[in-house]
Chains A and B, each alone.
Chain A
Amino acid sequence: AQKVTQAQTEISVVEKEDVTLDCVYETRDTTYYLFWYKQPPSGELVFLIRRNSFDEQNEISGRYSWNFQKSTSSFNFTITASQVVDSAVYFCALSEGMDSSYKLIFGSGTRLLVRP
């Protein structure tokens, strides 16, 4: 069965600290997608990244970086030099199969609070 676990319910950091949000997934498929979404206090969801199971290269986008490790079934998200605007709930998600990338299974989310 497919499952996404975000063990960190809430994280609080001071601005400019680096922070890593953990995501561990379970799937029997060899072909799957992993995602991260951001939900700021305003409530909308913002797509951040999609990674397929064949691409284990780390991804960096500005202050954001993602570390995909198949050996540990993890897809962790790091924010470097955090800012108050990074405060949000972050969701990791999984979908199985190349043709079903829209059938996402979400983790329960990690609430990040960045204090000034």
Chain B
Amino acid sequence: NAGVTQTPKFRVLKTGQSMTLLCAQDMNHEYMYWYRQDPGMGLRLIHYSVGEGTTAKGEVPDGYNVSRLKKQNFLLGLESAAPSQTSVYFCASSKPPGTPRYFGPGTRLTVL
């Protein structure tokens, strides 16, 4: 039982490049979330999903897209990375009604 895993752990991108962050959970949770954490701040919700095939915008969705084709996976995409997207990204999952209880280890992304 690995819990919530994130791939990759670290990444450096140049401005304008694209990439996809993968989140996987093996707890059969319905709800999954993507957050970003910037220095000196708490987490901010980017996008979330309440079930396979569904996604919704969170607090800071601009510049990101997501997909939930399989229940266990939640992908976060950056189509054209910008320096403002330099951050640590956390994925989380939970059962309904939805309190993010289980977090992945984070992905540290730097955009130059």
Q: A101, B42: Cβ atoms under 8 Å?
A: no
Minimum CB distance partner of B88 in chain A: A43
Total interface residues on B, CB under 8 Å, equals 25
The reply to whether B106 and A44 form a contact with Cβ atoms under 8 Å apart is: yes
Expressed in whole angstroms, the Cα–Cα distance for A23 and B92 within the complex equals 23
> A43-B105, A44-B105, A103-B58 are contacts. A98–B43 as well, Cβ < 8 Å?
no
Query: Which A residues touch B90, using CB under 8 A?
Result: 45
Chain B residues lying within 8 Å of A106, measured Cβ to Cβ, are 41-44
Contact partner of B41 (CB less than 8 A), chosen from A35, A93, A108, is A108
CA distance A43 to B103 in the complex (A): 10
- Which residues of B are found within 8 Å of A103, using beta-carbon distances? 45, 48, 58-59
Q: Which residues of B contact A109 (CB under 8 A)?
A: 40-42
Instruction: Contact check, A102 vs B99: say whether CB atoms are below 8 A apart.
Output: yes
A104 touches B45 (CB 8 A): yes
| Interface: A25 (CB within 8 A) | no
Chain A contact residues: helix, strand, loop or mixed:
loop
Q: Say if the beta carbon of B74 comes within 8 Å of chain A.
A: no
Residue A33 is within 8 A (CB to CB) of chain B in the complex: yes
Q: A43-B106, A44-B106 are in contact. Are A99 and B97 (CB under 8 A)?
A: yes
Q: Give the interface size bracket for A toward B.
A: 20 to 34
Which residues of chain A (41-67) have a CB below 8 Å from chain B? 43-47, 50
Which B24-61 residues have C-beta < 8 A from chain A?
31, 33, 40-45, 48, 58-59
Q: Is the CB of A101 within 8 A of B103?
A: no
A76-116 interface bits toward B, Cβ cutoff 8 Å, 1 = contact, 0 = none: 00000000000000010100001101111111110000000
Q: Evaluate whether A47 and B99 lie within 8 angstroms (CB atoms) in the complex, with A102-B94, A103-B58 already known.
A: yes
Any A CB within 8 A of the CB of B16? no
Contact B94 A107 (CB under 8 A): no
* Residues in A whose Cβ lies below 8 Å from that of B33: 102
Given A109-B41, A109-B42, 15 more A-B residue pairs with CB atoms under 8 Å apart are A43-B105, A44-B103, A44-B104, A47-B99, A47-B103, A101-B97, A102-B33, A102-B94, A103-B48, A104-B43, A104-B45, A106-B43, A106-B44, A107-B42, A109-B40
